[in-house]
Amino acid sequence: MAWLEYVLPLIFLFPLGAMAVIVLGLRNLHDARVRSPFDAHPLREPGQALRDRLDRAFSSLFLIGALGPVVTLAPLVYGMGRMLFSDEQEWIEWALYGLLSTVLVLLFCFLLIRDYQRIRRMKLGLACELAVGQELERLIRPDAHPYYVFHDIPADTYTIDHVAVTPYGVYVIETRARSRPIGNDGQEQNQVAVEHERLRFPGWSERRPMRKTRQATQWLQRWLSQECQTDVPVRGVLALPGWVVDTSQAPDDLLVVSGEGLANRLNAPGGTRVDPALHDRVIRTLMERSTLVELTPLHHPSV
């Protein structure tokens, strides 16, 4: 029976199939998410959403790196089995097996390069979020009870990097990581100019970071005002770690900073103090909101 020549070589694929099953079973072995032993709530740190995405990216990299050789060898192993059971050797058939393996190698190489670049971007974003979060932690001192900092507050379809509650209002802090280009003189170009609707970096400009920060600020202000049943002052802050920020043309509704000394800027008195009862209500409301981050998969737009 001629069809047996195509079925019997499948026996040689069983070891590769077993290896593939093992790889799929081990892909979720590393899970860095931990929960509190007291109330079972997830323990969150600055940049936790990016940490979770980074864990998934490493899991994908492991899956592609381990499963890629198994898949690319499958056509060649099957072809070797065909050579044993086939009465006639057809070079076109063997060429197709080799071509298929070559295409699979190129595909998995592309996926590996994609994941490698994505991990590099996320690690840069995580480093910037941790740097800004470390600055914000300086707001929390034993003698400064009115200050409270939240990380990764879930909005409707995304997460807000940081929210700082002070006696003078609520601050939405969004962090953006951008690599600094090298100029013709070999020096890093680290100056960014802030305009009303865009950021002018050396060689390019962006509108999305300011638009997203305003969107997060407006959403949080509406949501807090609705939950607290009164107007809650919220101001947006966009942090660009590692950049020298020119704010000569910056708008009044948005604070764009490098992130260094951010705690001192938010700690500086200015304006009317928030009613203490409202201040405590805002903190309780944000505490309840922060527990929702694990319930719904959200998009994190920081990178």
For 249-275, the pLDDT digits (tens) are 888 889 999 878 888 788 766 667 888
Say what the pLDDT of residue 213 is: 94
Secondary structure of residue 154 in the 3-state scheme = strand
**Position of tokens 């009862």?**
277
Angle between helices 91-136 and 48-85 (to 10 degrees): 170
pLDDT band (50, 70, 90) for residue 193: very high
- Is 166 in contact with 157 (CB distance < 8 Å)? no
Say what the pLDDT of residue 195 is: 92
- pLDDT tens for each residue of 112-121: 898 888 888 8
DSSP classification of residue 196:
S
- pLDDT tens for each residue of 10-63: 777 788 888 888 877 777 666 666 665 445 566 667 777 778 888 888 888 888
Say what the pLDDT of residue 110 is: 92
Higher-confidence residue of 290 and 298: namely 290
| Residues making up the chain, counted from first to last | 303
Name 249's Cβ contacts closer than 8 Å, sequence gap at least 6: 193, 194, 195, 196
CB atoms within 10 A of CB 84: 10
- Which residue type sits at 38? F
- pLDDT tens for each residue of 168-192: 889 999 999 888 888 888 788 889 9
Tell me: pLDDT of 80 over 60: yes
Please say whether the dihedral angle defined by the alpha carbons of residues 188, 208, 289 and 291, taken in this order, is positive or negative.
Answer: negative
Say what the pLDDT of residue 138 is: 67
Say what the pLDDT of residue 302 is: 46
Q: Percent of the chain beyond pLDDT 90?
A: 18
Q: Is the whole model's pTM more than 0.75, yes or no?
A: no
Least-confidence region, from 55-64, 73-82, 85-94, 243-252: 85-94
Q: How far is CA 244 from the centre of its chain?
A: 24
**Alpha helix (H) residue ranges in the chain:** 4-7, 14-26, 48-85, 91-136, 208-228, 262-267, 276-290
Which secondary-structure segment (H or E) carries 194?
A: strand 191-194
Q: How far is CA 97 from the centre of its chain?
A: 39
- Is 264 in contact with 137 (CB distance < 8 Å)? no
Tell me: pLDDT of 99 over 60: yes
pLDDT band (50, 70, 90) for residue 143: very low
Angle between helices 276-290 and 208-228 (to 10 degrees): 110
Sheet holding 234-239, edge to edge: 148-154, 159-166, 169-175, 234-239, 254-257
pLDDT band (50, 70, 90) for residue 297: very low
- The C-alpha angle with vertex 67 and arms to 64 and 73, in degrees rounded to 5, equals 125
pLDDT band (50, 70, 90) for residue 295: very low
